[in-house]
Structure formats: structure tokens, C-alpha cells
Structure 1
Amino acid sequence: MPDSRKVIDLFIEVYFGASEHLRKLEESGPLKNVSSQQLQTLKIIKVEAALTPGRLSNIQGVHKSAISNRIKKLMEKELIQWSETKEDKRSKLVQLTKKGEEIVDRADELIYDSFSFLFEGVKDEDVTTFIHLFEHVKKKLKEREE
């Protein structure tokens, strides 16, 4: 596919621009006490429902000690909590607290409000195509994980 490099380059460029925009959002308002790394951690926990620190470390691509520190800070802020697994009582999972869910929901709302302008003037069928493309990419990434 000759344009795949262009697609990947554009994706990375958009990702960096969006990340910079999100950092500016975090510096003010209800998210100012939550770092971008902490917010990403909360978002991952919400998507996964509950997961081990090791899995979280793998997803975020950071050392387990960094995840331990992140978990500690999020627990101090009462945004996450430990839960036991049914299969192995020695294994612990992290999950969102009600307060953590509220922070993620508020962040999502800010993100949606802040980025909604991106699709102004775009035809509905183009948005649908965009959604299908991203669903395809997401599926391929999951298949590669397994």
C-alpha cells in the first residue's frame, strides 16, 4: 500500500498535536491536579474495568516502579482502589473509584467538547468511513496482541 507511510505519519502528527492540546486543557480547570500520565492510567483502567499493575505497565510501556508510583499517587487522591481477583487471592487488581470515574467522565467531556470542531464541515459518510477505519486498526492491533 503506497500511501500507508503517509497515513502513519499523519496519525503520529495528529496524535502529537492532540497530546499538546490535552496538556493545555489539563493545566486549567477540573483536571489541573491530575497529570497526563495519571489521566492516561485512569482511562486505561476504565477501558479494562480492572487490571494488574503488570498489565498496566505493559500497556503504558513504562517500568513497573513508575506504575507503582502512579498507583500510589492515584490512591492518595482516592481515584483508584485495589480489588482481589476471584481466581487468585494473592493477585490484586486496580480499579476506578466513583471519584476516579467522575474524573475520567469529566476529562472525556472536555476532550469531546474541545475536539468536536475537527469534524465541522465533514460529511457524515466521511465520518462513518473514518470510524470504520479506526475500528479496523483497533481490531488489527488487538489481534497482534494475542
Structure 2
Amino acid sequence: MKENLREAVQLFEEVMIHGTERVLKSVDSPVWRLYSPEQLHLLKLVDKYGPIASGRIAVIQGVHKSAISNRLKKLNEHGLVEVERSEDDHRTKRIILTDAGKEVVEASDQAIYSYLEQLIDGKVDDDEIKQFIETFRKVKAILKIED
């Protein structure tokens, strides 16, 4: 069991690191040329968890708040996010995705999905995909990751 788990963790890390690199280099979409991967990830976080505090985004992305401020400024200038002061604590900024931001997230997701679909088509069968989903649902539940 421990040897299998060790291999699973190593494979997961390799896929995360090298897979991300390959996707970032290979996805050919206008939205991926207009915005950085970090900006697109930020938009995806706001889409999933928003309205969300900018400090929370910094924690999730593992960067300093100043990096998030710079990204938010650019995304706000493009009309993709809005920044509002929290009613509870006026020092806290909450980030909201605009309709234009939602369109960018959808375009980004579609570009990734299309690329990965083309990449694994005919190489991974439906049962393997179902097993992958089941395993990752279990890991997500163990980690108590919120939807």
C-alpha cells in the first residue's frame, strides 16, 4: 500500500508540474494570449468562490497580496472583475466576477477541455475516466475541499 501510495503521489506531482507546463505551452486560444495563467487562475477562483476576499486569493495562489493587487488592477481595467468593500470590514476587498469575466473563464475552460480531449482521445477509455473521477472525488472528500 505505501509503495503504491508513494508512486501515486509522485505521478500526481509529475502530472501537475509537467502537465501544467505542457498545457500552458500548447493551448492555443485567444484568451490564453490575452491573459496570463495567473490571471486566468484568479478569475477561475473568483468564479468558483466569489465574492471572495483578495487576501484569500493570495493564500490560495500562494503569493503575496501585492501580486494579487497587481493582477486585480489589470483584470479590473479589462472589466473582468469588480472590487467592492466588505460591508462587515471596510478594510477587506471582495472580488466579484463580471459577465465579461465569466465569458473569459468559460473560454479558458473550453480551450483547456478541447486540448485535453484531443490529447487523450483514444488513449484513455471511459472506464478509466470513471475510475479517475471516483478516486479524485474520494481524495477531495478526504481533504474536505469545498465546492
Q: Same fold (TM over 0.5)?
A: yes
Equivalent residue letter for 1:60: Q
- Runs of 4+ deviating beyond 6 Å: none
Q: Secondary structure at the residue paired with 2:43?
A: helix
Q: Is the 8 A contact 2:54 2:68 kept in 1?
A: yes
Instruction: Name the counterpart of 1:47.
Output: 48
Q: Which amino acid aligns with 1:112?
A: Y
**Taking structure 1 as reference, are residues 89 and 63 closer, same or farther at Cα in structure 2, changes over 3 Å only?**
closer
Alignment of 1:54-73 (within 5 A): 54-73=55-74
1:75 is aligned to 76
Counterpart AA for 1:122: V
The aligned residue for residue 33 of structure 2 is: 32
Does structure 2 conserve the Cα–Cα contact (< 8 Å) formed by 1:53 and 1:93?
Answer: yes
Report how many residues are paired: 143
Task: For residue 123 of structure 1, report the CA deviation from its aligned partner.
Answer: 3.2
Helix, strand or coil at the partner of 1:2: helix
* Paired position in structure 2 for 1:107: 108
Distance 1:30 1:44 in 2: 17
2:128 is matched with which residue?
126
CA apart distance, 1:31: 2.3
Q: In structure 1, give the amino acid aligned to 2:35.
A: V
Retained in 2: the 8 A contact 1:26–1:35? Answer: no
Aligned identity (percent) is 36
State the SS of the aligned residue for 2:3: coil
CA contact (8 A) 1:26 1:36 kept: no
- Letter of the 2:116 partner, please give it: F
Taking only aligned residues, the RMSD between alpha carbons, in angstroms, comes to 2.1
| Cα distance in structure 1, aligned partners of 2:23 and 2:123 | 23
Q: Is 2:53–2:94's contact at 8 Å kept on the other side of the alignment?
A: yes
Task: Output the TM-score relative to the length of structure 1.
Answer: 0.86
SS in 2 for 1:32: helix
Residues 107-139 of structure 1, C-alpha deviation per residue, up to 9 Å, x if partnerless? Answer: 110111000132534332221111011111122
TM-score (norm 2): 0.85
| 1:37-86 deviation per Cα after TM superposition (whole angstroms, max 9, x unaligned) | 10111111111122001111110010111111111111111111123545
- Decide whether the 8 Å contact of 1:31 with 1:103 is kept in 2: no
The aligned residue for residue 136 of structure 1 is 138
Question: Which structure 2 segments of 5+ residues have no match?
Answer: none
**CA contact 1:26–1:32 (8 Å) conserved in 2:** no
